[in-house]
Amino acid sequence: MDPAINVQGLTKHFRETTALDDVSFWANPGTVLGLLGPNGAGKTTAVRVLATLLKADAGHASVGGYDVRTQAHLVRQRIGLTGQYASVDEKLTGRENLLLIGRLLGLSRRDARRRAQELLSEFSLEEAAGRAAKTYSGGMRRRLDLAASLIGRPSILFLDEPTTGLDPRARLDLWNLIRRLVADGTTVLLTTQYLEEADQLADDIVVLDRGRIIASGTPEQLKQHIGARTLAVQARQEQDVPAIAAMLADLTGGHAEVAGLTISVPAPDPGHLPALVRRLDASGISVNELMLRSASLDDVFLTLTGRHAEPTGAPTEQRESSA
């Protein structure tokens, strides 16, 4: 089976910034490829090259079997693109937005109406169809944006951070819509900053960091490598931190990361938590907080690169609560 998306040695510079540095990956038809990385990793640049909106400096990319450089018009007939920032016209109603795109794609007035109606009902936007898009919630706008990218029935869909900024409920709705599209045979390239999202949706994940691929594999392979969970302990007093760090490292075999009073370590085995409680008890150390949480992108980066996902960012806890 020929890959639906095939990228070989893609490189793109913007002046002194290397946005993509010899990047290669591929996606089989009917699967989801997750491009996972923090801000500035090169995700949008990759999507723009694949969607024929930007020319790479070097390398080769094909989409649906067509070369993005020399056969751009054939590529465009097969793809849908939902950008990082919703691209609907705010002044138009939901229905008008879809009709407009249908007409731009060359559908007859009647076919455009029919397709718009199909998508409005499929995406639970019927009730809001007659309202200006500027009155929509964030989740509704993303659904409208996704619906707009599906008017031409693309076989390959690029979703650039489709759920960034959405509340958990709207995120789940969108995940389900994406799953349905994939079940119908669509190939999806999804970019995300959320390990959990890639884990939920992707068949294969490519981790990007400053334009380079730093890891790739199935979600299972990646989680095995980085630890699906993180065990974190907040010490009660500073003097206990080294002992707790040593205990965590010994227990899990991983490297314990210390930030203030908080010590964390990848914990592949959920049994590590009760084992830790017993050891703390045995050594008479009492702690403020103990938690086993799902690994975040930041944990992935710490394990793979030894540094945090966003070099200038806020501490992990703050970033997670805002994510």
Nearest 5°: phi and psi at 185? 105, 0
Q: Using CB under 5 A, which of the segments 3-11, 44-52, 172-180, 227-235 binds Mg ion? A: 44-52
Please tell me whether residue 45 binds Mg ion under the rule CB under 5 A. Answer: no
Contact (CB, 8 A) for 307 and 214: no
Q: How far is the CB of 259 from Mg ion (least distance, A)?
A: 27
Please tell me whether residue 85 binds ligand ADP under the rule CB under 6 A. Answer: no
Residues numbered 75 to 134 that lie near Mg ion (CB under 5 A) are 84
For 236-269, b where at least 16 C-beta lie within 10 A, e where not — what string?
eeeebbeebbebbeebbebebbeeebbbbbbbbe
Indicate the residue among 48 and 141 with the shorter CB distance to Mg ion: 48
Q: Please report, as a single letter, which amino acid is at residue 165.
A: G
Q: Which two tokens stand for residue 176?
A: 């389900």
When CB distances are held under 5 to 8 angstroms depending on the partner's kind, the choice from Mg ion, ligand ADP, none that residue 200 binds is none
Q: How far is the CB of 43 from Mg ion (least distance, A)?
A: 5
Residues in the chain: 323
Contacts of 29 (CB under 8 A, 6+ apart): 1, 2, 3, 4, 155, 185, 187
Indicate the residue among 159 and 181 with the shorter CB distance to Mg ion: 159
Indicate the residue among 47 and 263 with the shorter CB distance to ligand ADP: 47
Q: What is the C-alpha separation between 192 and 194, in angstroms, rounded?
A: 5
Q: How far is the CB of 180 from Mg ion (least distance, A)?
A: 25
When CB distances are held under 5 to 8 angstroms depending on the partner's kind, the choice from ligand ADP, Mg ion, none that residue 14 binds is ligand ADP
Nearest 5°: phi and psi at 294? -65, 145
Q: How far is the CB of 80 from ligand ADP (least distance, A)?
A: 18
Indicate the residue among 193 and 262 with the shorter CB distance to ligand ADP: 193
Residues numbered 11 to 70 that lie near ligand ADP (CB under 6 A) are 14, 17, 19, 37, 39-45
Q: How far is the CB of 302 from ligand ADP (least distance, A)?
A: 18
Indicate the residue among 159 and 232 with the shorter CB distance to Mg ion: 159
Please tell me whether residue 44 binds Mg ion under the rule CB under 5 A. Answer: yes
Q: How far is the CB of 257 from Mg ion (least distance, A)?
A: 27
Contacts of 170 (CB under 8 A, 6+ apart): 137, 138, 139, 142, 163
When CB distances are held under 5 to 8 angstroms depending on the partner's kind, the choice from Mg ion, ligand ADP, none that residue 41 binds is ligand ADP
For 63-75, b where at least 16 C-beta lie within 10 A, e where not — what string?
bbebebeebbeeb
Q: Would you give the end-to-end CA distance of the chain in angstroms?
A: 37
DSSP class of 253: S
Contacts of 203 (CB under 8 A, 6+ apart): 28, 31, 32, 33, 218
Nearest 5°: phi and psi at 7? -125, 125
Indicate the residue among 54 and 287 with the shorter CB distance to ligand ADP: 54
Indicate the residue among 122 and 310 with the shorter CB distance to Mg ion: 310
Contact (CB, 8 A) for 48 and 54: yes
Indicate the residue among 44 and 303 with the shorter CB distance to Mg ion: 44
Q: How many residues belong to the site for ligand ADP (CB under 6 A)?
A: 11
Q: How far is the CB of 215 from Mg ion (least distance, A)?
A: 19
Please tell me whether residue 323 binds ligand ADP under the rule CB under 6 A. Answer: no
The residues binding ligand ADP (CB under 6 A) are 14, 17, 19, 37, 39-45
The residues binding Mg ion (CB under 5 A) are 43-44, 84
